[in-house]
Amino acid sequence: MSQLPRPAHTRRLRSAAVSVALLGLLLAPAAVPSAAAPRLPAAAGSAPASTTVLPGGTGALTGYAIRSAAEVPDTAAAVSTPGYATAGWHRAGPRSTVLAALVADGTHPDPFYSTDQQRIPRRDFAGPWWYRSDFTLPDTSERTSLDFSGVISAADVYVNGRRVASAAEVAGVYTRHELDITDVVRAGTNTVAFRIQPNDPRKHLTLGWLDWLQPPPDANMGIVRDVLVHRRGPVSLHDAHVVTSLDVPSSKSGPAELTVKGRVRNDSRETATATVTAAIGGTGIVLREEVTLRAGETRALVFAPDRHQELRLRRPALWWPAGMGPQNLYGLHLTATVAGSRSDAVRRSFGIRDVKAPLNSAGARQYTINGRPLLIRGAGWSADELLRWDTTAAEDRIEAALDAGLNTFRLEGHIEPDEFFDLADRHGILLLPGWECCNKWEGPVNPTGSGEKWNAADRLTARASMAAEAARLRDHPSVLSFLIGSDFAPDARTERDYLDALRAADWPTPVVPAASAVTTDLSGPSGMRMTGPYDWVPPSYWYDKREGGATGFNSETSAGPSIPTLDTLRRTLSPAELETLWTSPSAPQYHRSPSPTFNTLRLFNEALTRRYGAPRSLRDYVAKAQLGQYENVRAQFEAYARNATDPTDPSTGLVYWMFNSGWTSLHWQLVDRYLDRGGAYYGAKKANEPLHVQYSYDDRTVAVINRRPAAVSGLTARVTLFDTDGASLYDRTVRGLRVGGDGARTTALTVPAVRAAADAPDATYLARLTLTDDAGREVSRNVYWLSTRTDVPDYDATDWYHTPTTTYGDLTGLNSLAAATVTATARTTHRAGSMSTTTVTIRNTSSGNTPALLTDLHLVDGRDAPVLPVRWNDNQISLWPGESAVLTAEHRTADPTGSALRVRISGWNTPTTHIDASSP
């Protein structure tokens, strides 16, 4: 989170030994990723279905029977023997923490509502839990192995009554383990049992929740990635990957060179000769090599362009981030045959792209991709609090981020399963994975964290974790870098271990020593900074080139609290908590943070009252929060976009803290748990439009930002200022504007200062900005609510999480806006598959001069519950009398008849109405 001092209670971790003998396996991962969809847990006490693994195949365990070891008197040998009775055990999915399973089967209440999580006794998770599953082998003609990672925190592993690995060896959530179980399996039913040890992020190299949310009572103990059963012939393939080299700057047409690498291992007891074939889909490239191996021998495999000219691609299909080009992917298929029979095969996808991140003249890390400049517009990604994986939900969130104009997620720990990275590759969102701060991962170096120091076993676990994740992630073109430190860089010995592991894995992108401003002997300056803020600051703050303002690369920053929509609040908080939310500004909020620094909304609520006026009801509080969040998030992204092209000390990247929360939260989120979207989200979406007109709080300039690849000319910008009665204070049009591509900026004009009347020393006014193309079509509209009294931050009093404000802008004039009337029509059309489009035409039909400010459209069902997720082309719009807009909502088709579908229309100064949105 932040490199500056923070409360020591926020995190911690310790050791789990990894044997030196196993380390070689951990450094050489070799499994085929499972693409199996998550399975819903069955009822408690039922036996999980057994997966059958055919010769030459790979299968994932389909689920587990789980139970606290304290309730199981039998020996480990008995528990792991086929046929052992599991009546009364709980059912868990193939990737599940203990608590996720117990919530799914109704043993414990939903921890996401109110304070129900406090009702779950932590003592139930103080000791080990058994995870037991069966798999079936038709025969034992081939070698069989278990391949897995994702154990939290450690586990003894048993197969058919025999221990095949100890908890000292299987330790750490990211370490990968390949266990040869050929000698213990049999034809028919086989049993694997894991005795999972409790987790403590202060003591183990796993994961924790820092100050993000109330941590789960089980501390996420369980198995959260697939456990794979491999069957292979005598020769096996490992570590298959493709190293790509792109000729930059001539990257638009190539060329590129590919090097196919891997290892071939003879697992038999006699010499074997294998023919290895490498085929690259979409290119016609097929390469072969014959390899003779002694019993137990492993040999490196390399198909290089100096021997295989076809690996030099003249015109490669490049992978681009979304908005910059297509997301082209290639496939590698590697096969080993022995005596004419297939012995093993692996498949990998990869992309061709070039990522560089040198330090600019100001010392900031400046990313380019395929030779083109790249301003990182990112946000922090959070896994689900119970680490439940849902591919559809993850894809929905990725699509929402792209729709908001983001191009990057940062993963501070909580490194998601393979499907997440596959989705990122396919959708074109960039990723910045890395290790966590403030717990065991930073135990040796972070004096303000709570992680325990490392011992020799911890160092082996850390190195094995880096090796395993490097091998897993290196071929994903969406992965932009790896951050080997967060608040603090690793010590020199650990950094060397990490870098050696990355180098051995052929890691292809820049390695960043920390997300904070540090310099290490091996990696040099990080080029990053972590100045926050993490709590409320005014919109104008972002324009100052100091603290968290728009300069350099800020790896985590936002104005903190993000109050969700009223719909989500009612699903999250009890009636009493809802009352406290708006009536008690300094009250502790369970759904904010366990940290005493962040467990109230005091700073946010004070600013809201000082700037907008004291809330009159829960609805009024939420409405004011949406206004405040919209203007603040918009200003943050707009400031970084404007300063990206400055000749001195430009902004190069920001990571909004955060994009989503792992549970139902009141802070650090652009979208809420249910993917409903309010002011924070739409402020980001407005700021990050591909072609965008924006106002600067510091110097009142109006700029046009173009994120499209090509330059645009013939643009017209118009700026009109209004008082709260709707009277025009200023109106100017500038024609013939031209702006370059890839984030270029042009300044259209400077707006004059608005002076308050003598009898109104502080006045609220509105600014409407429009941008039209050479055909007169409106391509960007942006409306600001401003004050003649500026917000004044006290930079001298800045601490690690915020800068206090001494004088607040006066936006209370918005409370006197005349009521506006809007009318609308809507209709829904069903597209092929399960998707629908609802089109709404909305018009301000008021007879006066005032706008319908921040008008929000929500698609709802017959009970007035939001239909989610929904992707609107625009929302929370402001229309002046006579103006209209056509808005579209893309959503799933819940009811093919569309009979109950309605659009709820509300706004700052418009009454709530509903219109029918059923199919025509």
Strand-pair category, 511-512 with 482-483: parallel
Contact by Cβ (8 Å): 876, 855: yes
Show the tokens assigned to 422. 């596959």
Cross-sheet strand order for the sheet of 482-483: 511-512, 482-483, 430-434, 408-412, 376-380, 651-656, 552-557
Strand-pair category, 805-807 with 792-793: antiparallel
Determine the Cα–Cα distance for residues 408 and 424; give it in Å rounded to an integer.
10
Show the tokens assigned to 880. 């002046």
Which of 487, 497, 544, 631 is labelled catalytic?
A: 487
Determine how many CB atoms are found less than 10 A away from the CB of residue 28.
19
**613 φψ region: left (φ > 0), alpha (ψ -120 to 50), beta (else):** left
Annotation marks residue 487 as catalytic? yes
Helix (H, G, I), strand (E, B) or coil at 714: strand
DSSP state of 447: T
Residues in the chain: 920
Helix (H, G, I), strand (E, B) or coil at 602: helix
Beta-carbon contacts of residue 340 (< 8 Å; ≥ 6 apart): none
DSSP E strand boundaries for 166-234: 177-180, 188-196, 222-223, 227-232
With 0-12 CB in 10 A as exposed, 13-18 as middle and 19+ as buried, what is 94?
buried
Annotation marks residue 521 as catalytic? no
Which of 469, 495, 547, 556 is labelled catalytic?
A: 556
Contact by Cβ (8 Å): 824, 879: no
Cis peptide preceding 658, ω within 30 of 0 = yes
Concatenated DSSP letters for 211-228? Answer: TTSPPPTTTT-EE-SPEE
| 149 alpha carbon, distance to own chain's centre | 20
Contact by Cβ (8 Å): 391, 413: no
Token pair 């080139």: residue: 545
Show the tokens assigned to 410. 């940062």
Determine the Cα–Cα distance for residues 403 and 671; give it in Å rounded to an integer.
12
Show the tokens assigned to 245. 């080299």
Helix (H, G, I), strand (E, B) or coil at 396: helix
Concatenated DSSP letters for 53-88? Answer: --TT-EEE---EEEEEGGG--S-HHHHTSTT---TT
With 0-12 CB in 10 A as exposed, 13-18 as middle and 19+ as buried, what is 919?
middle
Over 279-338, what HEC string results? EEECCCEEEEEEEEECCCCEEEEEECCCCCHHHEECCCCCECCCCCCCECCEEEEEEEEE
Determine the Cα–Cα distance for residues 334 and 262; give it in Å rounded to an integer.
9
Over 715-747, what HEC string results? EEEEEEEEECCCCEEEEEEEEEEEECCCCEEEE
Concatenated DSSP letters for 505-540? Answer: TT--S-EES-SSS-EETTTEE---B-----S---GG
Listed residue (305, 311, 337, 137) closest to 237, CA to CA: 337
Show the tokens assigned to 334. 């590697």
> Which positions are catalytic?
487, 556
